[in-house]
Structure 1
Amino acid sequence: MTKRYAIILAAGQGTRMKSKLYKVLHPVLGKPMVQHVLEQVKAIGLEDVITVVGFGSDKVKDHLGNNTKFVLQEEQLGTGHAVIQAEELLKDKKGTTIVVCGDTPLITKETFEQLCEHHEKTGSKATILTAKAPNPFGYGRVIRNERNEVKRIVEQKDANPDELLVDEINTGTYCFDNEALFEALKSVSNDNSQGEYYLTDVIEIMKNKSEMVSAYLIPNFDETLGVNDRVALAQAEKTMKLRINEQHMRNGVTIMDPDNTYIHSDVVIEPDVVIYPGSIIGGNSIIRSNAIIGPNSEIQNCEVGEDSVVKQSVATDSKIGKRVNVGPFAHIRPDAIIGDEAKIGNFVEIKKAELGNGTKVSHLSYIGDAKVGSNVNIGCGTITVNYDGKNKYLTTIEDDAFIGCNSNLIAPVTIGKGSYVAAGSTITKDVPTDALSVARARQSNKEGYASKLKNRLKDKE
């Protein structure tokens, strides 16, 4: 089997983005676009991937890590010059090398595979990924001869009137015989108006040597979109969003409004999940079967169990069990574990807390740094007071406990199994098993005093 390699061109600053963020790090559905390219090209099984970096190289390296090798293009002198930077790592290797830009996040692994197969089957030294553009203005045109063979690539500014009518365009993605690529690059000149070394010149150099140059026409033009500004970034986001949503719907997920539902590429959703409009599901989230998400819920890096509902709420880096009701307007913060058949109601915040099966926190409470057992009822307005200004402390509430409304549990503290905390209590000491704890000031009634107070206030007027 032919060995395969890839070079990702990611050195350009991207001035048209008008951003301090390096162009290829702009996210498409929550992931830098160069990472989309890397993941798709690696999915076809490669010996090596080399990413050419320049401006902002350290940040690109931090994002991509050990998934690729890096070479530095210190001066941006054109695409041909960028590819030459990978020569030391690839020059002596036999096989097929893909060259792709890091700002083309929509190209799929299927397209990369088909491009390589076409290239290797035809025995070509170079294969251009081409597409039929609805409006080819600004693109390099692929000019074919009478035998339908690729003759050359002509840029918009150099094309004659007949060539301008051609709608087959160069997408900027190629397959090359690796050895032939670096041999041809030795002959590339920068004798042009930009003073740059163009990778497209390799095509003409190979044709002049009577080498086989072919083209693989991709059926979906949208896949080839290169992101050079914020308008194209929005187009890429929309295209990928609809692609991902369609895949989930075909796999048995109900998405009520695909245009207003955002699901990131690594999310796993099982059949019979229902997702309402305005929902965002990102990271490595897993949504189990029969769950209902939304409307207007945001879930990031969470597992949501079977038959659970997350309505108009935010959940991050947590695990939600089966048959759980969350929301509306709840906030599940990182490191929360919610047991089966629990309830997290409106305006409840959970942070770094474990809640057992059947436990209910129905409204207006904060449960942070806590371990809560099963079948606990936590009343409205309860707060686990976990922070003293310097350190965080644990609150433990054991099974079957009942916490009355408007209670403050001053950590570290333990509420024993089956015990009751009276409404309005501030608990500073452990509560034993099966105890009733009342920690509030004794009520004192002064009869007739209300009228005196009102008269006093009236006299001040």
Structure 2
Amino acid sequence: MYSISETTFFDRPTSIEHESGVITFGAFTVVEASKNAPVHFLGNARIGHQCYFSKNDSIKSPIVISNDVYVDSGCRIGADSKIGERTQVLYGATIFETVEIGSECIIGSDVSNWTRIDDRVTFFGTVVHSNRKVEDMGAWNTDPHPAPHIKSDAFIGEASLLIGGIEIGQSSYVTAGEIVRSNIEAESIFVRGKLFPLSRFKNFIST
């Protein structure tokens, strides 16, 4: 593990070798840190240009983070994950292993293993996997479980729950606190357990 314990500005592309791998920082990347709130990098990481990491972040390898990504304080990003350009990870969110996040997303809560999030998604919900058999306990961390695919320009409201390998359609809207167990059609809104065309709410909601 490589820890940065003071605020560091990389004014040019920089590679740092450490005991568990190599970290490559793009130019104009900032790591905000202190002795009491270091930023930890475990293993190999490829960081783009003009990224910003905050105090108490933890980054686990292997990982690819594209240009202009902002990671708020106290966030964790798991191994084998990818984050697209100009995405923001906020409010101490955890991105677990093998997650793919597109460009220009806002991630404000935890994203579970194997979830796919396309471009320009706003995500404030929670992802859970479908129930499994007790005898499958040993495969929990090794075998992929069905996880949601959230398509571009979708909005996932605060404290909504996405269960299993469902698809959230392009430009769809899931309101706060909903439990979603099946696919959501593109350009639709899921509210109070029912699905409606988003056009019916065009004067009330902007995505």
Q: Which residue of 1 aligns with 2:119?
A: 374
Q: Which residue of 1 aligns with 2:205?
A: none
Q: Which residue of 1 aligns with 2:101?
A: 355
2:21 is aligned with 1:283: yes
Question: By how many angstroms is 1:368 displaced?
Answer: 2.8
Of 303, 306, 313, which residue of structure 1 is paired with 2:49?
306
Q: Is the 8 A contact 1:332 1:349 kept in 2?
A: yes
Question: By how many angstroms is 1:369 displaced?
Answer: 1.4
CA distance in structure 1 between the aligned counterparts of 2:130 and 2:184, rounded to whole angstroms:
20
CA distance in structure 2 between the aligned counterparts of 1:436 and 1:334, rounded to whole angstroms:
33
CA distance in structure 1 between the aligned counterparts of 2:32 and 2:20, rounded to whole angstroms:
14
Q: Is the 8 A contact 2:168 2:183 kept in 1?
A: yes
CA distance in structure 2 between the aligned counterparts of 1:335 and 1:270, rounded to whole angstroms:
27
Q: Is the 8 A contact 1:282 1:299 kept in 2?
A: no
Structure 1 residues without counterparts, runs of 5 or longer: 1-28, 31-244, 246-254, 259-268, 274-279, 442-461
Q: Which residue of 2 aligns with 1:293?
A: 31
CA distance in structure 2 between the aligned counterparts of 1:294 and 1:335, rounded to whole angstroms:
23
Q: Deviations over 1:62-97 (max 9, x none)?
A: xxxxxxxxxxxxxxxxxxxxxxxxxxxxxxxxxxxx
CA distance in structure 1 between the aligned counterparts of 2:47 and 2:131, rounded to whole angstroms:
32
Question: By how many angstroms is 1:366 displaced?
Answer: 3.1
CA distance in structure 1 between the aligned counterparts of 2:147 and 2:7, rounded to whole angstroms:
42
Q: Deviations over 1:153-182 (max 9, x none)?
A: xxxxxxxxxxxxxxxxxxxxxxxxxxxxxx
Q: Is the 8 A contact 1:340 1:357 kept in 2?
A: yes
Of 369, 393, 405, which residue of structure 1 is paired with 2:146?
393
Q: Which residue of 1 aligns with 2:72?
A: 327
CA distance in structure 2 between the aligned counterparts of 1:438 and 1:256, rounded to whole angstroms:
46
Q: Is the 8 A contact 1:285 1:303 kept in 2?
A: yes
Q: Which runs of 4+ in 1 moved over 3 A?
A: 255-258
Where do 1:85-164 residues align within 5 Å? none
Of 12, 17, 37, which residue of structure 2 is paired with 1:271?
12
CA distance in structure 1 between the aligned counterparts of 2:129 and 2:30, rounded to whole angstroms:
32
Identity %: 19
Instruction: Report the residue type matching 2:50 in the other structure.
Output: D
* Pair 281,314 (structure 1): closer, same or farther in 2 beyond 3 Å: farther
Q: How many residues align?
A: 172
Instruction: Report the residue type matching 1:347 in the other structure.
Output: G
CA distance in structure 1 between the aligned counterparts of 2:99 and 2:86, rounded to whole angstroms:
16
Structure 2 residues without counterparts, runs of 5 or longer: 195-207
Q: Which residue of 2 aligns with 1:316?
A: 60
Of 411, 419, 425, which residue of structure 1 is paired with 2:178?
425
Q: Is the 8 A contact 2:85 2:103 kept in 1?
A: yes
CA distance in structure 2 between the aligned counterparts of 1:281 and 1:320, rounded to whole angstroms:
21
Where do 1:232-247 residues align within 5 Å? none
TM-score normalised to structure 1 length: 0.34
Higher relative contact order (CA 8 A, sep 6+): 2
Larger strand share, 1 or 2: 2
Question: By how many angstroms is 1:270 displaced?
Answer: 6.9
Q: Is the 8 A contact 2:6 2:32 kept in 1?
A: no
TM-score normalised to structure 2 length: 0.74
Q: Secondary structure at the match of 1:292?
A: strand
* Pair 287,425 (structure 1): closer, same or farther in 2 beyond 3 Å: same
CA distance in structure 2 between the aligned counterparts of 1:272 and 1:316, rounded to whole angstroms:
20
- Which one has a bigger Cα radius of gyration? 1
* Pair 332,256 (structure 1): closer, same or farther in 2 beyond 3 Å: closer
Larger helix share, 1 or 2: 1
* Pair 257,413 (structure 1): closer, same or farther in 2 beyond 3 Å: closer
Q: Secondary structure at the match of 1:384?
A: strand
CA distance in structure 2 between the aligned counterparts of 1:329 and 1:257, rounded to whole angstroms:
15
